[in-house]
Structure 1
């Protein structure tokens, strides 16, 4: 049994386009923004028909990621605010610990 080599590809790979895309290759930003809702709706319909559970799982993961990103940004903002308040309270220098009291002698020592 001999193995035949695969035929070499001829030319560039085909590009998938919507029928509307073949009219004009130089779409402006406004035209692209105008078409975005219909393209997103078409994509969601295709994904819904392909695998509903995967689509719902992906949407849930995206919502969870957005919530966690918002929490991280809120926490970072609060941390920076506290740090800047501390720096301002100490006159623009790095905060130093409060004055310490002299160590107490150990009992029996």
Structure 2
């Protein structure tokens, strides 16, 4: 898998949704969503950045109407998001013909 191409496709999805992706030196999280921004930890390799970005994108689709999910997470939110993120990454590889 070409992680650079996967990253480009994930950024396209963010642009389509009007989401800005920012990199920051997080201490406790790998990523988070706040309003129209997705923050990603800046100390990861590209494969982990892709997984984290897909995870946060999935939150914007699945839990956009759930209020502040940082402080009020239902137990199944993370499992739902992990599954959706895996599906998103697999779909990018299939549809985009991203192979490595």
**Structure 1-normalised TM-score?**
0.27
Q: Which has the higher contact order (CA 8 A, sep 6+)?
A: 2
Which one has a larger percent strand, Structure 1 or Structure 2? 2
Radius of gyration: which is bigger?
A: 1
**Structure 2-normalised TM-score?**
0.29
